[in-house]
């Protein structure tokens, strides 16, 4: 393919690095290292080590003009067609997903039926099928993927300002793109893949002044137009958590104090700029109270697509609420929710080189279940799969055998 990667032979505590061209044969282990028991790691260091076609699906997930017409899940068949011959890790991911689809399908057959059950379960299935596709791209071309997603995030931010100042009516398109208040003024412009701002990076730009300008545009969009407290906090945590976890004691204290200040200050700024912030928090608390007091069977739930009328916020998908994770327990019960949690942790583990990164990604993924109905949204999984990448570069890497991505 013409891209370079580092071939790392590791045996015990001994390592040796040699640079080799992708597609060529793996160099033999250096003198002093026997081939028996040795492992090979490809550390791309920001260079592409997987087929370009694997990037197409996750990159399309951040193409806002396309998402005005199509759902993210409608793009999953495209990703499956482009997957080609899967690696061993990807095949394992597919087996995990197939097992979870079967568990969910069995509950669908055994639980009470309702008019939204099939649509809810189908959304779950399509989301699960997107996960191995995203994992394959992250494993093979993570840094390259972040570059293209960052370019599209910058483009989306510019489009958002354009739509805002021109007062473009987006109501006829899919998604909650433009939020208008009682005063007929636009309060927010919010595209559905805004969560990917958490992994935004300006490193694709060479000029420092360009980096400052582009960074300022995206920051202005996040604070002034999107006004998403969760995404802002995730961006901060993504960049500061590795420094907190890998630094010295005094450094950890200083960075933690700085992060705490930002964690308090950023939401306060958004709350001032967003009049409906208190109403949004109040609605989430109302939903949580209604869900935990619903009286649904904790083991089996009331069925896919179950709706609590008092907390419905969407007429198209009334079974999806901001408190999605507690609601999911009400719908499918522990018999499905527990395997779902275990499977998702396993899928995150397959793209992480440490348990620290695995658990932080898993925690971030499930945390959204108490803020927004994004658990089954492919772009949200993509976001959490790409955060905390610096933790994968600290400490001793997990040794894996070489495999095609």
Extents of the domains making up the chain: 50-393
pLDDT in tens, 137-171: 999 888 899 999 999 999 999 999 998 888 887 77
Please tell me the pTM assigned to this model: 0.81
Note the helical H segments in 221-248.
Answer: 229-246
The sheet with strand 14-21 has its strands ordered as: 14-21, 4-11, 39-43
In this prediction, residue 118 has a pLDDT band, given cuts at 50, 70 and 90, of very high
In this prediction, residue 79 has a pLDDT band, given cuts at 50, 70 and 90, of very high
Q: What is the mean pLDDT of residues 335-357?
A: 94
Measure the CA–CA gap between 137 and 126, rounded to whole angstroms.
17
What residues have CB less than 8 Å from 16, skipping those under 6 apart?
8, 9, 29, 30, 33
Lowest mean pLDDT among 35-44, 67-76, 139-148, 307-316: 35-44
Lowest mean pLDDT among 48-52, 179-183, 285-289, 394-398: 394-398
What are the structure tokens assigned to 156, written together? 């989306």
Measure the CA–CA gap between 356 and 200, rounded to whole angstroms.
22
H helix or E strand, kind and range, residue 11: strand 4-11
Nearest one of 186, 201, 197, 188 to 156, comparing CA atoms: 197
* DSSP secondary structure code for residue 387 in this structure: T
Q: What is the mean pLDDT of residues 305-329?
A: 86
pLDDT in tens, 221-261: 998 888 887 888 888 888 877 777 766 655 556 666 666 66
Nearest one of 127, 114, 146, 136 to 47, comparing CA atoms: 146
| SS3 state of residue 21 | strand
């Amino acid at each position: 393919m013409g891209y370079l990667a580092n071939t790392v032979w590791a045996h015990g505590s001994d390592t040796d690095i040699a640079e080799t061209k992708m597609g060529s044969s793996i160099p033999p282990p250096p003198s002093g290292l026997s081939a028996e028991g040795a492992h090979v790691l490809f550390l791309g260091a920001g260079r592409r080590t997987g087929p370009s076609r694997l990037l197409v699906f996750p990159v399309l997930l951040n193409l806002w003009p396309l998402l005005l017409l199509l759902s993210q899940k409608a793009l999953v068949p495209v990703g499956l067609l482009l997957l080609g011959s899967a690696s061993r890790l990807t095949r394992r991911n597919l087996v995990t997903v197939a097992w979870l689809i079967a568990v969910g399908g069995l509950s669908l057959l055994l639980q009470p039926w309702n008019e939204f059950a099939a649509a809810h379960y189908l959304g779950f299935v399509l989301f699960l099928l997107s996960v191995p596709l995203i994992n394959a791209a992250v494993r093979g071309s993570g840094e390259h993927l972040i570059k293209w997603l960052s370019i599209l995030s910058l483009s989306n931010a510019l489009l958002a300002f354009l739509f805002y100042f021109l007062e473009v009516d987006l109501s006829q398109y899919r998604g909650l793109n433009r939020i208008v208040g009682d005063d007929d003024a636009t309060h927010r412009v919010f595209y559905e893949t805004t969560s990917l701002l958490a992994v935004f990076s300006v490193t694709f730009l060479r000029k420092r002044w360009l980096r400052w300008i582009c960074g300022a545009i995206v920051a202005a969009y996040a604070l002034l137009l999107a006004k998403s407290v969760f995404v802002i906090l995730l961006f901060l945590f993504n960049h500061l958590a590795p420094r907190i976890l890998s630094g010295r004691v005094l450094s950890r204290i200083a960075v933690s104090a700085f992060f705490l200040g930002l964690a308090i200050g950023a939401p306060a700024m958004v709350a001032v700029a967003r009049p409906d912030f208190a109403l949004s928090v109040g609605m989430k608390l109302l939903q949580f109270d209604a869900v935990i007091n619903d009286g649904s069977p904790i083991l089996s739930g009331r069925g896919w697509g179950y709706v609590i009328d008092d907390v419905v916020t969407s007429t198209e998908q009334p079974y999806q609420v901001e408190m999605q994770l507690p609601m999911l327990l009400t719908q499918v019960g522990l018999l499905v929710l527990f395997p779902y949690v275990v499977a998702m942790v396993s899928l995150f583990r397959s793209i992480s080189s440490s348990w620290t990164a695995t658990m932080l990604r898993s925690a971030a993924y499930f945390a959204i279940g108490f803020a927004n109905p994004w658990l089954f949204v492919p772009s949200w999984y993509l976001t959490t799969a790409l955060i905390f990448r610096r933790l994968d570069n600290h400490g001793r890497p997990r040794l894996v055998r070489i495999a095609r991505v």
